[in-house]
């Protein structure tokens, strides 16, 4: 945990209690998840009830209290993508990666997340790995998508 | 950018922007927001490079715009002033476009949009049926201007509504104009915006807030995204006008974090407006003080609900609270607040520019103006369409949307997102406005329009929305949290072949119960998808319950995959791809599927080029 | 739903007459009885004045209303419009007529108890309520075997009345639950035991912990609220008054101690 960076984030929001969600988003930006100590640290520094922080951290799905994999796969389960077969894509991903939604593979290479619509419904069904969008994804094309990311892990 | 200190300065600036423009300049508009998902950034880079290499910098300007609407055809590009429309543009096409169109003035025919029926290419954007039948008032600048340049917005008349308001109108007149326009909120509920403003303007208190709702949680809807990304200043302008009308000094825009480009473009726009003196203290020298903050959502659909959104800005978990007190009297931080959808603010700018009468002349008796819909699903032309209220579903889906994909049949269109309903073919000639939709058991919602064909199972659709809401419910009140769980279980049972006749009554009862007793609109409308599908597609439920069949081939327990011997040419593709080795057969002979081994992953179904794999 | 013109006029006349008599308070009609009450008080308090019992699960007069259980719904007729509202947090307004026991209201209450019973089949309070409402055979499938009904009383009491905030709500939707942060013993809990007292289902247990020096308990043995003889009308309950006094004593004792010996 990087206390200095957290301090400067807290500073930039002036320790304002109402900014706690933005603060937590920024802190999550450091390591792509928020460790428990970080939340305890924020609570102490801001003099803000830990129960409220814990509520926020578990209520909003953007926050992760567990470390995530190197590549985050976001599979859209919005209506357009659902009709396009997102559920079958999800099943296929779960089978090949052997993880559940929200899970991370054992080698910490991939985390699998579902999202509710990325606003690119015209291209449904959509899968996003890191920042790369894949449109009109079919269960059969997932293997190829994954392999572009698994191969670059060796370097 | 210099600070603009008076209304006259703003007009001078506008004129000087025009004066600087070279009318002979060719401008290429390229979508840099929605089409980024189809690698439009690469196209842009190649284009810039090609223009540099050919030494054409003085002759051509490339404009990175917001969404141009026809996302299906992305990345889309329009060459102005000729208005030539190119679609599905790849980086490798760029050299040809520059050589042929920019330098030689010819049209690259293979990149044109072609009419699917006649195969005839259409050269100009304005002649394509998809665009021709739309009426773009609110989304007009989106896709035409570079949203990251305030000059571009000012050049198309931006901030003139604001200067008109500040120089000629009293706050009460602004409110009256909005009331007279008949504008109803675009965020879902359809509450008259003017009345909301009037209530808040009259509420006692010196500190008031104005908030734009850019949470756009409805899955399958992305018009708010395109506005925020493609025309952020129009939202800001609407908010400043609103702030003046109700007396707010501080505004907030709540944007969902799944929209990083929207957040980026709004931040840039706010910064530029501040630098120009259009936000901050003493706006345009009129003494008006107003500034805007952006709040990023953190992945909670319920935060689109007004009280939850305010509680979220206050820094808590976004659970709705009971009204009264109404936000217009006691809202954000306990102060009188107005919350409007971002598209509503886009409308405000137009209304004050063109007058209430102009606006009230568009649309139907109860629903004024135009509305942007996101037309997606099993329709040929997916994308954003803006039409006059009262346009029929048929016009939208068949004339603009080009009908159903893959020559299949229309089954239903779902409007209003998870709170909405499914409308069957018998109502296809219904005008689309707030009241007709409600009568049909759906709602306008934020404007998502999801088209379904015979491969969509309506029981599954109802279950899908309940599943979505179950996950997104805040979990505070009993009807929503517990009632939805029960409904979801019943629907799951039906989808998995354990349904019973008595399920109809229980589903209906629970849905009605949640409507009357839930705390907020999420639980209050959660029953709609189930109610509307039972109303129009009862036979599909009956198939699932009595015959144990899902004819659409969606509910896994209720169908099996088989190969049509007539159609199969034995290409072996499915056998190779099947992860479970459930397909067998000799090359060039019809294949068969072992239903015992099949896990219904659908790979064979989607990969067969002969469409020989069928769900039975 | 609109009501008949004659009825509307009749009600209006009564109000007009009544307003003449009373300047500060406003008259409202509740179950055909008139009460004078200050504008802005919640319906439930007005009902109490008229000796009308409205069942509640998430309401306690010592803390702010929450509006989550929806058991306290009543029908309100105002401006000739009839609608259902939660009485624990809906303020009375002039011209309001309230019905606390209509078929519609009874049906909602019944469904709520059925739903909660499906969530928490073992909770005796819910079983009693179900019996009183004449629910004999469960129509809804048992979903869970939880004890917490998520009324939020414990959390709000700890925060608002005790002023500590040791427990909170976490997660959302069907996973919403009451928990201490990170589900480990809270370091700010003063051990007053308010949560265990206030919980209507008796699902919070205090585990004495050697390491928490300030753990103190209220002398409230023998008062087990999950089986209430007073129809769960806490505000007219002697035990409840006793509890509030005792809770405040414990809290102030804790505060004094903490002030004297800063860690
Ligand atoms: C569960 C729920 C989700 C909502 N989500 C949104 C949303 O994403 N965007 C939006 O503008 N309004 C949303 N609304 C509607 C808002 O509560 C509010 O009515 C609206 O933003 C008001 O703006 P308008 O009057 O301009 O429509 C939602 C309402 C509910 C009950
Ligand atoms: S209806 Fe659902 S989302 Fe709304 S307050 Fe109740 S539980 Fe929360
Ligand atoms: S633990 Fe008890 S008091 Fe707390 S929310 Fe659950 S039922 Fe209510
Ligand atoms: S539904 Fe998947 S991007 Fe909108
Ligand atoms: S007591 Fe009113 S909602 Fe629970």
* pLDDT single digits (tens) B251-294: 999 999 999 999 999 999 999 999 999 999 999 999 999 999 99
Within 8 A by CB and 6+ apart from B217, the residues are A116, A117, B256, B301, B302, B303, B304, B417, B472
The alpha carbon of C251 and the centre of ligand 5 are apart by a number of angstroms equal to: 27
Considering the domain boundaries, does residue C162 fall inside one? yes
SS3 C174: helix
**Closest ligand 4 atom to B221 CA:** 4
Query: Which of B559, B556, B562 has the alpha carbon at shortest distance from B582?
Result: B562
Region A119-148: what's the mean pLDDT? 90
**Interchain pair A51, C171: CB under 8 A:** no
Q: Is the pLDDT of residue C226 over 60?
A: no
Neighbors of chain B by Cβ distance (3+ pairs < 8 Å):
A, C
Considering the domain boundaries, does residue C252 fall inside one? yes
Same domain flag for A47 and A84: no
| CATH number of the structural domain spanning residue C45 | 3.10.20.740
Q: Residue B421: phi, psi to the nearest 5?
A: -150, 175
Q: Is the pLDDT of residue C221 over 70?
A: no
Confidence class for position C211, pLDDT limits 50, 70, 90 = low
**Interchain pair A117, B222: CB under 8 A:** yes
Cis geometry, peptide bond prior to residue B81 (ω within 30 degrees of 0): yes
**Closest ligand 1 atom to B196 CA:** 25
Same domain flag for A75 and A143: yes
Cβ neighbours of C176 in B, within 8 Å: 474-476, 481
Confidence at residue C8, expressed as pLDDT on a 0 to 100 scale: 53
The alpha carbon of B577 and the centre of ligand 2 are apart by a number of angstroms equal to: 44
Please calculate the CA angle B258-B260-B264 and round it to the nearest 5 degrees. 150
CB B306 within 8 A of CB B152: no
Q: What is the dihedral of CA C140, C144, C149, C150, to 10 degrees?
A: -120
Pairing of strands B448-453, B370-377: parallel
Considering the domain boundaries, does residue A83 fall inside one? yes
Rounded average pLDDT per 10-residue block, chain B, 616 residues: 88 92 90 90 94 92 93 92 94 94 93 90 94 94 94 95 96 98 94 97 96 94 95 98 97 95 97 96 95 96 97 97 94 97 97 97 96 94 95 96 91 94 96 94 92 94 95 96 96 96 96 96 95 97 96 92 92 89 91 91 86 88
Cβ neighbours of B318 in A, within 8 Å: 59-60
Question: How close does chain A come to C187, measured CA to CA in Å?
Answer: 10
Cβ neighbours of C169 in B, within 8 Å: 317
Within 8 A by CB and 6+ apart from B271, the residues are none
Considering the domain boundaries, does residue C36 fall inside one? yes
Q: Residue B141's CB: how many other CB atoms inside 10 A?
A: 23
Query: B16, exposed or middle or buried, with CB in 10 Å at 0-12, 13-18, 19+?
Result: exposed
Phi-psi region of C24 (alpha: psi -120 to 50; beta: other; left: phi over 0): alpha
Considering the domain boundaries, does residue C50 fall inside one? yes
- Please report which ligand is nearest the Cα atom of C151: 3
How many angstroms separate the first and last alpha carbons of chain B? 65
Chain C contact probe: residue of A51, A59, A63, A102 with most C CBs at under 10 A: A51
Q: Where in chain B are all domains bearing CATH 3.10.20.600?
A: 370-453
**Closest ligand 3 atom to C167 CA:** 4
pLDDT digits over C3-22, tens only? 455 555 555 555 555 544 44
- Retrieve residue A40's tokens: 């305890």
Count Cβ neighbours within 10 Å for each residue of B330-357 and write b for 16 or more, e otherwise: bbbeebbbbbbbbbbbbbbbbbbbeebe
CB C121 within 8 A of CB C145: yes
The alpha carbon of C210 and the centre of ligand 1 are apart by a number of angstroms equal to: 50
The structural architecture, per CATH, of the domain B158-360 is 3-Layer(aba) Sandwich (3.40)
pLDDT digits over C101-133, tens only? 999 999 999 999 999 999 999 888 899 899 999
Residue A67 and residue A54: Cα distance in Å, rounded?
17
Residue A10 and residue B236: Cα distance in Å, rounded?
28
How many angstroms separate the first and last alpha carbons of chain A? 26
Longest distance between any two alpha carbons in chain A, whole Å: 52
- In short, whether C115's Cβ falls inside 6 Å of ligand 3 is no
Query: Which of B433, B343, B352 has the alpha carbon at shortest distance from B389?
Result: B433
Q: Is the pLDDT of residue C155 over 50?
A: yes
DSSP of B384-432: EEEEETT-BHHIIIIIIT-SBGGG--EEEEEESGGG-EEEEGGGTT-B-
Q: For the domain made up of B458-547, give the CATH fold.
A: de novo design (two linked rop proteins) (1.20.1440)
Partnered with residue B368 across adjacent β-strands are B363
Within 8 A by CB and 6+ apart from A151, the residues are none
- In short, whether A121's Cβ falls inside 6 Å of ligand 4 is yes
Q: Residue B189: phi, psi to the nearest 5?
A: -75, -30
Question: How close does chain C come to B277, measured CA to CA in Å?
Answer: 42
What residues of chain A, 16 to 75, have a C-beta less than 8 Å from chain C? 36, 39, 49-55, 58-59
CA–chain centroid gap for B372, Å, is 7
Domain count, chain A: 2
Chain A contact probe: residue of C167, C178, C182 with most A CBs at under 10 A: C182
What would the 3-class secondary structure string for B419-437 be?
HCEEEEHHHCCCECCHHHH
Same domain flag for C162 and C240: yes
Question: How close does chain A come to B335, measured CA to CA in Å?
Answer: 15
SS3 A143: helix
User: Domain of A117?
Assistant: 71-150
User: Domain of C60?
Assistant: 25-101
Nearest chain C residue to A64 by CA: give it.
Answer: C171
User: What is the 8-class DSSP label of residue C207?
Assistant: P
Confidence at residue B6, expressed as pLDDT on a 0 to 100 scale: 93
Query: Which of B385, B355, B350, B353 has the alpha carbon at shortest distance from B371?
Result: B385
Residue with token string 């390491």: C211
Question: How close does chain B come to C90, measured CA to CA in Å?
Answer: 7
Confidence at residue B483, expressed as pLDDT on a 0 to 100 scale: 96
- Please report which ligand is nearest the Cα atom of C232: 5
**Interchain pair C119, B482: CB under 8 A:** yes
The alpha carbon of C251 and the centre of ligand 3 are apart by a number of angstroms equal to: 20
Q: Where in chain B are all domains bearing CATH 3.40.30.10?
A: 18-132
Same domain flag for C166 and C94: no
CB B412 within 8 A of CB B393: no
**Interchain pair C179, A54: CB under 8 A:** yes
- Please report which ligand is nearest the Cα atom of C148: 3
**Closest ligand 3 atom to C152 CA:** 5
Considering the domain boundaries, does residue A66 fall inside one? no
Query: C166, exposed or middle or buried, with CB in 10 Å at 0-12, 13-18, 19+?
Result: buried
Strand intervals (E) in B408-518: 410-415, 421-424, 448-453
Residue with token string 């048992």: C142
**Interchain pair A83, B295: CB under 8 A:** no
**Interchain pair B300, A22: CB under 8 A:** no
Region A128-134: what's the mean pLDDT? 90
pLDDT digits over B399-416, tens only? 999 999 988 899 999 999
Considering the domain boundaries, does residue C44 fall inside one? yes
- Please report which ligand is nearest the Cα atom of B317: 2
Task: Give the residue, out of A78, A87, A90, with the most ligand 4 atoms within 8 A of its beta carbon, to mutate for a pocket test.
Answer: A78
- In short, whether A78's Cβ falls inside 6 Å of ligand 4 is yes
- In short, whether C57's Cβ falls inside 6 Å of ligand 3 is no
Same domain flag for A95 and A55: no
For B449, B511, C135, C142, the CA distances from B503, given in Å and listed in that order, are: 28, 12, 19, 16
pLDDT digits over C229-254, tens only? 666 666 677 777 777 787 777 777 76
CB B26 within 8 A of CB B59: yes
Residue pairs between chains B and C whose CB atoms are closer than 8 Å: 92
Q: Where in chain B are all domains bearing CATH 3.40.50.11540?
A: 158-360
How many angstroms separate the first and last alpha carbons of chain C? 62
Region C29-37: what's the mean pLDDT? 93
Of all protein residues, whose CA lies closest to atom 24 belonging to ligand 1?
Answer: B185
Considering the domain boundaries, does residue A40 fall inside one? yes
pLDDT digits over C55-107, tens only? 999 998 889 999 999 999 999 999 899 999 999 999 999 889 999 999 999 99
Confidence class for position C2, pLDDT limits 50, 70, 90 = very low
Considering the domain boundaries, does residue A65 fall inside one? no
Which of the four CATH numbers 3.10.20.30, 3.40.50.300, 3.40.720.10, 3.30.70.20 does domain B560-615 have? 3.30.70.20
Considering the domain boundaries, does residue A44 fall inside one? yes
- Please report which ligand is nearest the Cα atom of B477: 2
Q: Compare CB distances from A49 to C165, C170, C171 and report the shortest one's residue.
A: C165
Of all protein residues, whose CA lies closest to atom 4 belonging to ligand 3?
Answer: C154
- Retrieve residue C84's tokens: 């259902």
**Interchain pair C171, A58: CB under 8 A:** yes
Chain B contact probe: residue of C88, C142, C169, C173 with most B CBs at under 10 A: C173
CB A46 within 8 A of CB A20: yes
Cis geometry, peptide bond prior to residue B325 (ω within 30 degrees of 0): yes
Count Cβ neighbours within 10 Å for each residue of B394-422 and write b for 16 or more, e otherwise: bbbbbbbbbbbbeeeebbbbbbbbbbbbb
Helices B342-354 and B232-246, interaxial angle, to 10°?
Answer: 70
Of C61, C82, C101, the domain-final residue:
C101
User: What is the 8-class DSSP label of residue A75?
Assistant: E
Q: Residue B289: phi, psi to the nearest 5?
A: -115, 130
Residue B255 and residue B212: Cα distance in Å, rounded?
9
Confidence at residue B609, expressed as pLDDT on a 0 to 100 scale: 87
**Closest ligand 4 atom to A123 CA:** 3
CB C64 within 8 A of CB C244: no
What would the 3-class secondary structure string for B314-332 be?
CCCCCCCCCCCCCCCCCCH
| CATH number of the structural domain spanning residue A116 | 3.40.30.10
**Interchain pair A51, C165: CB under 8 A:** yes
Confidence at residue C15, expressed as pLDDT on a 0 to 100 scale: 53
Q: For the domain made up of B18-132, give the CATH fold.
A: Glutaredoxin (3.40.30)
- Retrieve residue B80's tokens: 């102005």
ipTM given for this complex: 0.93
CB C64 within 8 A of CB C160: yes
Instruction: List residues near ligand 5 (CB under 6 A).
Output: C 56-59, 67-72, 86, 88
Same domain flag for A49 and A96: no
Confidence class for position C140, pLDDT limits 50, 70, 90 = confident
Confidence at residue C213, expressed as pLDDT on a 0 to 100 scale: 38
Domain count, chain C: 2
Within 8 A by CB and 6+ apart from A27, the residues are A6, A9, A34, A38, A42
Q: Residue A47: phi, psi to the nearest 5?
A: 55, 50
CB C2 within 8 A of CB C80: yes
**Closest ligand 3 atom to C204 CA:** 1
Same domain flag for A76 and A48: no
CB B364 within 8 A of CB B275: no
Considering the domain boundaries, does residue C242 fall inside one? yes
Note the pTM of the prediction, 2 decimals: 0.92
Does A8 lie at the interface with C, CB-CB under 8 angstroms? no
Considering the domain boundaries, does residue A64 fall inside one? no
The alpha carbon of C112 and the centre of ligand 5 are apart by a number of angstroms equal to: 11
Q: Where are the alpha helices (DSSP H) in chain A?
A: 3-12, 20-31, 36-46, 50-59, 79-83, 86-97, 142-151
Please calculate the CA angle B586-B589-B593 and round it to the nearest 5 degrees. 70
Which of the four CATH numbers 3.40.50.1950, 3.10.20.30, 1.10.10.1100, 3.10.20.600 does domain B370-453 have? 3.10.20.600
Considering the domain boundaries, does residue A76 fall inside one? yes
Partnered with residue B60 across adjacent β-strands are B26
Cis geometry, peptide bond prior to residue B324 (ω within 30 degrees of 0): yes
The alpha carbon of B159 and the centre of ligand 5 are apart by a number of angstroms equal to: 48
Number of H helices and E strands in chain C, helices first, is: 7, 7
Same domain flag for A49 and A75: no
Cis geometry, peptide bond prior to residue C10 (ω within 30 degrees of 0): no
Same domain flag for A112 and A47: no
Residue B451 and residue B472: Cα distance in Å, rounded?
23
Residue B452 and residue B441: Cα distance in Å, rounded?
17
Chain A contact probe: residue of B258, B293, B404 with most A CBs at under 10 A: B258
């Amino acid at each position: 945990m990087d206390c200095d960076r957290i301090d400067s984030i807290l500073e930039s929001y002036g320790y304002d209690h109402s900014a706690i969600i933005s603060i937590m988003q920024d802190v999550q930006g450091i390591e792509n998840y928020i460790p428990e100590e970080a939340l305890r640290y924020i609570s102490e520094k801001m003099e803000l009830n830990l129960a409220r922080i814990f509520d926020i951290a578990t209520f909003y799905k953007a926050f992760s209290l567990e470390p995530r994999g190197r590549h985050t796969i976001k599979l859209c389960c919005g209506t357009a993508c659902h009709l396009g077969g997102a559920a079958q894509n999800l099943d296929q991903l779960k089978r090949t990666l052997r993880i559940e939604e929200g899970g991370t593979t054992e080698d910490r290479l991939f985390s699998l997340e579902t999202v509710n619509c990325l606003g690119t419904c015209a291209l449904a069904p959509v899968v996003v790995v890191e920042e790369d969008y894949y449109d009109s994804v079919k269960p059969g094309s997932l293997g190829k998508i994954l392999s572009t990311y698994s191969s670059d892990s060796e370097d | 950018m210099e600070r603009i200190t008076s209304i006259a300065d703003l007009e001078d600036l506008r004129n000087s922007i025009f004066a600087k423009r070279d009318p002979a300049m060719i401008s290429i508009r390229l979508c840099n927001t929605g089409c980024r998902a189809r690698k439009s950034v690469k196209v842009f880079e190649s284009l810039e490079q090609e223009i540099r290499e050919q030494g054409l910098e003085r002759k051509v300007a490339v404009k990175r715009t917001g969404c141009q609407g026809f996302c299906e055809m992305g990345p889309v590009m329009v060459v102005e002033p000729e208005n030539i429309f190119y679609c599905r543009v790849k980086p490798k096409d760029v050299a040809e476009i520059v050589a042929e169109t920019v330098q030689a003035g010819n049209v690259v025919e293979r990149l044109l949009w072609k009419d699917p029926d006649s195969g005839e290419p259409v050269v100009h954007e304005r002649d394509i049926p998809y665009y021709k039948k739309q009426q773009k008032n609110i989304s007009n600048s989106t896709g035409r201007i570079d949203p990251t340049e305030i000059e571009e917005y000012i050049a198309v008349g931006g901030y003139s509504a604001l200067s008109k308001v500040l120089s000629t109108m009293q706050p009460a007149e602004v409110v009256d104009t909005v009331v007279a326009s008949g504008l109803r909120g675009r965020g879902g509920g359809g509450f008259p915006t003017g009345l909301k403003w009037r209530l808040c303007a009259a509420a006692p208190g010196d500190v008031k807030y104005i908030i734009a709702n850019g949470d756009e949680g409805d899955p399958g809807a992305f018009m708010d995204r395109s506005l925020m990304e493609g025309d952020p200043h129009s939202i800001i302008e609407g908010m400043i006008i609103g702030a003046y009308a109700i007396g707010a000094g501080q505004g907030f825009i709540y944007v969902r974090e799944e929209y990083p480009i929207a957040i980026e473009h709004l931040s840039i726009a706010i910064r530029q407006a501040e630098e120009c003196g259009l936000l901050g203290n003493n706006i345009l020298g009129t003494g008006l003080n107003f500034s805007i903050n952006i709040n990023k959502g953190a992945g909670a659909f319920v935060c689109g609900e007004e009280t939850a959104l305010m509680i979220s800005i206050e820094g808590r978990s976004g659970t709705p609270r009971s009204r009264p007190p109404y936000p217009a009297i006691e809202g954000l931080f306990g102060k009188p607040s107005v919350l409007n959808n971002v598209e509503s603010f886009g409308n405000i700018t137009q209304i004050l520019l063109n007058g209430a009468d102009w606006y009230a002349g568009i649309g139907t008796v109860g629903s004024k103006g135009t509305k942007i819909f996101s037309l997606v699903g099993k329709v040929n032309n997916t994308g954003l369409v803006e039409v006059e209220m009262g346009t029929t579903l048929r016009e939208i889906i068949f004339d603009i949307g080009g009908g159903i994909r893959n020559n299949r049949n229309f089954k239903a269109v779902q409007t209003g997102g998870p709170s909405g309903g499914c409308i069957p073919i018998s109502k296809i000639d219904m005008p689309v406005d707030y009241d007709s939709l409600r009568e049909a058991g759906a709602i306008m919602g934020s404007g998502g329009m999801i088209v379904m064909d015979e491969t969509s199972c309506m029981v599954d659709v109802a279950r899908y929305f309940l599943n979505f809401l179950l996950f997104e419910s805040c979990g505070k009140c009993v009807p929503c949290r517990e009632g939805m769980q029960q409904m979801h279980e019943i629907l799951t049972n039906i989808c998995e072949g354990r349904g019973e006749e008595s399920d109809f009554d229980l589903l209906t009862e629970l849905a009605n119960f949640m409507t009357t007793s839930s705390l907020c609109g999420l639980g209050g409308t959660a029953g709609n998808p189930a109610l509307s599908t039972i109303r129009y597609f009862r036979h599909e439920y009956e198939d699932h319950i009595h015959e144990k069949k899902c004819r659409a081939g969606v509910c896994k327990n209720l169908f099996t995959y088989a190969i049509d011997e007539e159609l199969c040419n034995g290409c072996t593709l499915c056998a190779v791809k099947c992860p479970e080795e459930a397909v067998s057969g000799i090359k060039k002979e019809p294949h068969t599927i072992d239903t015992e081994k099949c896990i219904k992953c659908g790979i064979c179904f989607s990969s067969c080029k002969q469409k020989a794999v069928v769900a039975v | 739903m609109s009501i008949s013109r004659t009825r509307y006029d009749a009600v209006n006349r009564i109000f007009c007459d009544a307003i003449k008599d009373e300047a500060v308070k406003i008259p409202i009609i509740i179950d055909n009885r008139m009460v004078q009450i200050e504008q802005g008080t919640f319906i439930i308090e007005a009902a109490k004045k008229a000796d009308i019992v409205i069942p509640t699960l998430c309401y306690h007069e010592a803390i702010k209303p929450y509006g989550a259980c929806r058991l306290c719904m009543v029908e309100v007729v105002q401006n000739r419009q009839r609608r259902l509202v939660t009485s624990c947090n809906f303020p009375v307004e002039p011209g309001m007529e309230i019905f606390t026991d209509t078929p519609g209201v009874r049906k909602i209450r019944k469904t709520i108890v059925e739903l909660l019973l499906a969530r928490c089949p073992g909770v005796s309070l819910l079983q009693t309520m179900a019996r009183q409402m004449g629910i004999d055979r469960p129509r809804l499938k048992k979903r869970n075997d939880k004890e917490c009904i998520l009324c939020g009383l414990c959390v709000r009491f700890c925060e608002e009345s005790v002023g500590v905030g040791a427990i909170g709500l976490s997660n959302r939707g069907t996973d919403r639950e009451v928990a201490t942060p990170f589900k480990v013993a809270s370091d700010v809990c003063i051990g007053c035991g308010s949560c265990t007292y206030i919980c209507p289902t008796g699902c919070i247990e205090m585990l004495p912990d050697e390491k928490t020096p300030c753990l103190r308990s209220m002398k409230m043995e023998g008062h087990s609220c999950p089986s209430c003889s007073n129809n769960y009308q806490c505000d007219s309950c002697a035990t409840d008054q006793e509890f509030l006094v005792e809770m405040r004593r414990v809290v102030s004792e804790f505060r004094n101690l903490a002030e004297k010996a800063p860690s």
